[in-house]
Structure 1
Amino acid sequence: MKSIITGEDEVRVGVNLLDNAGEEHGIEMEFDGEIKHHQSEAYADNPRFRTREECEHVDQARRFAKWQVYRERGYDTVPPLENPDRLTAALLAIADLSSDTFQAQFGELERRLARHYDDGPVELPFPNADPDDAIIYQQDVYLEPDPVEHDPPVLEQFLSRFDGDPDTPVARRASELTTQDRDDLGFEVEAVSGIHTVHNDGQGTERRDHGEQPLDRDPDARVELMAFDTDSVDSFHHYVVSNLAYQIRDRFLLMGQAPPTAFRAQGWGTYRGFQCQKFCSLYEEYWSSEADITSWEPWTE
């Protein structure tokens, strides 16, 4: 993926981009990230007439263009829940929580997951839903201070300390920050949302239920977990931190980029990442801890 910012006026920024298949894109977006123009002669304008891989090349180009404008021009063009800087800040904030505070904020999420594997009833907000279907539980995280106001960016500061060490669990790396690191990268969980639920019956029907939002602004991150046996992990706290690390991995992959070395690890990240990795040949199954990964580069199929 190669791109340059071609210009900017009082309402829009323009980006010219070559995707991983070598095809050119011209993209214009407003300062909030809304894309107002996207032209590429290589792909049909109507997504119905593109292959799954062609659609993904188009989507990768749009995501990467937003990331470049955000990083180079400072506009908040990346959707908050997809921004690796916000995700890194959430990872650090949650890793730093005491056990009691973590339980107060995420204990209900753990209990909802555990009910799939104990003798208690599974609480589903959808009629006729089978607890054995694909069930995703989500919980939004609100941070303070604002992660996108840091310079250098939060992710770059984190990588300057830990890049090149993918085999060390990210929760342990975060816990090893020095006092000075914590002054530079100090974030707190201001609030968490209620539990959201995504249900997929495997037959093309997807339903969503949204929990309560405590604040009148966009959250900074969203923990996303497929129903699993919480007794299978040593620490649910560390598992949540790792989920955010895998989300950072997914966000780079979905921009057509190899993730930073520190985040090249396998495990469940995002529901969107899972769908892309499962059904598009541009990706391997990074979501699976048992998959045999041959490359971290989401290049051409």
Structure 2
Amino acid sequence: MKAVITGENAERIGVNLLDNNDVEHVIEMEFDGAIKFHSCEEYPNNPAKRTRTQTEYGEQARRYAQWHVYRERGYDTVPSTENPDRILAALLALTRLSSASFEASFGDLEKQLRSHYDGSKVELPFADADPDGAIVYRQDLYLEPNPLEFDPPVLEQFRAHFDGPLDSSLFTQAGDLTDDDLDALEFDLEAVSGLGYLYNDGRGSQQTIPTDQPLERAPDARIELLAFDPEEVDSFQHYLVSHLAYQIRDRFLLMGLTPPAAFQAQGWGTYDGFQAQTFCDLYEEYWSPEATITSWDPF
């Protein structure tokens, strides 16, 4: 991916971008990241005439353009729960939670997941949902201080201390990321939402129920889990820390970028990432711990 900012006026900012297929995109967005113009001469304008790969190149270009403007100009152009700086801040906040605080924030989520496997009745807000189907549970996280107010950005400060591949235990043991080098990157959970839901019946029908909004602003990160048995992991807290690390991996992949070495690890990250990795040849099955990965390059 290569991008340059071509101009800016009172309403929009423009980006010219070459995707990983060396195809040019001209993109204009508002300062909140809303894409108002996207032109690409080499891919069909009609979505029905584009291949799945061509469509994904276009989506990568839009996501990367938002990231490029955010990092180069400081505008909040990346959707809030998709920004790697915010997600990393949430990961760091979860490592600092006491057992009691973690239970207070995420106990309902763990109980709901457990109900799929302990013989309890699975309570779902969809009348026709199969509890054994693709249920995604969501919970939004709100942080303090604001992760976007750090200079250098949160991710770059983290990478200055962890430049190569991390031992997996750093993402599976809460507290391991709170050494003296990261004292400046201390984040707290200001609030968490209730549960939100996504249900995919596998036949082309998808239903969602959003989380509540405990604060009058966008969340900083979103837990997004397929139903699994929490008894299969040593610690649910450690699992959520790992889950956020895998989300960072997915967000780079979906921008057409190779994830930083510290986040080149396999496991469930985002629902968007799972869909792309399952149905588009640009990606391997990074979501699966059992998959054999040959490359971390999404092209």
Q: TM-score, normalised by structure 1?
A: 0.96
Find the counterpart in structure 2 of residue 19 from structure 1.
19
Per the TM alignment, residue 5 of structure 1 is displaced from its structure 2 partner at its CA by: 1.2
Gaps of 5+ in 1: none
Q: Compared with structure 1, are the counterparts of its residues 173 and 120 closer, same or farther at alpha carbon in structure 2 (3 Å cutoff)?
A: closer
Count of matched residue positions in the alignment of Structure 1 and Structure 2: 298
The alignment status of 1:178 with 2:179, answered yes or no, reads yes
- Provide the rounded CA distance (Å) in 1 between the counterparts of 2:177 and 2:219: 26
Contact persistence 2:247–2:269 (CA under 8 A): yes
Find the counterpart in structure 2 of residue 77 from structure 1.
77
Contact persistence 1:6–1:16 (CA under 8 A): yes
Find the counterpart in structure 2 of residue 158 from structure 1.
158
Contact persistence 2:174–2:241 (CA under 8 A): no
- Provide the rounded CA distance (Å) in 2 between the counterparts of 1:265 and 1:148: 25
1:135-193 deviations in whole A, cap 9, x for unaligned? 110100000111001000001111111121233332448624334522x1011000000
1:184-218 deviations in whole A, cap 9, x for unaligned? 10110000000011111111111112232211111
Q: CA RMSD in A?
A: 1.2
Find the counterpart in structure 2 of residue 140 from structure 1.
140
**SS where residue 56 of structure 2 aligns?**
helix
- Provide the rounded CA distance (Å) in 2 between the counterparts of 1:191 and 1:284: 35
Find the counterpart in structure 2 of residue 235 from structure 1.
235
Q: How does 1:260-275 map to 2 (within 5 A)?
A: 260-275=260-275
**SS where residue 269 of structure 2 aligns?**
coil
1:44-94 deviations in whole A, cap 9, x for unaligned? 122222111111000000000000000000000000010000000000001
Contact persistence 2:140–2:211 (CA under 8 A): no
Q: Compared with structure 1, are the counterparts of its residues 153 and 173 closer, same or farther at alpha carbon in structure 2 (3 Å cutoff)?
A: farther
Which stretch shifts more, 90-99 or 42-51? 42-51
Equivalent position amino acid for 1:102 in 2: F
Find the counterpart in structure 2 of residue 124 from structure 1.
124
- Provide the rounded CA distance (Å) in 1 between the counterparts of 2:141 and 2:185: 17
Contact persistence 2:96–2:178 (CA under 8 A): no
Equivalent position amino acid for 2:295 in 1: S
Find the counterpart in structure 2 of residue 207 from structure 1.
207
Gaps of 5+ in 2: none
- Provide the rounded CA distance (Å) in 1 between the counterparts of 2:262 and 2:2: 22
Equivalent position amino acid for 1:296 in 2: W
Contact persistence 1:82–1:251 (CA under 8 A): yes
Contact persistence 2:144–2:187 (CA under 8 A): yes
**SS where residue 191 of structure 1 aligns?**
strand
Which stretch shifts more, 255-264 or 173-182? 173-182
The alignment status of 1:61 with 2:56, answered yes or no, reads no
Find the counterpart in structure 2 of residue 40 from structure 1.
40
Contact persistence 2:95–2:175 (CA under 8 A): yes
Per the TM alignment, residue 12 of structure 1 is displaced from its structure 2 partner at its CA by: 1.5
- Provide the rounded CA distance (Å) in 2 between the counterparts of 1:161 and 1:71: 20
Find the counterpart in structure 2 of residue 110 from structure 1.
110
Per the TM alignment, residue 270 of structure 1 is displaced from its structure 2 partner at its CA by: 0.4
- Provide the rounded CA distance (Å) in 2 between the counterparts of 1:172 and 1:228: 19
Contact persistence 1:5–1:14 (CA under 8 A): yes
- Provide the rounded CA distance (Å) in 2 between the counterparts of 1:192 and 1:239: 17
**SS where residue 175 of structure 1 aligns?**
coil
Matched residues, percent identical?
A: 61
Which stretch shifts more, 123-132 or 63-72? 123-132
Contact persistence 1:137–1:227 (CA under 8 A): yes
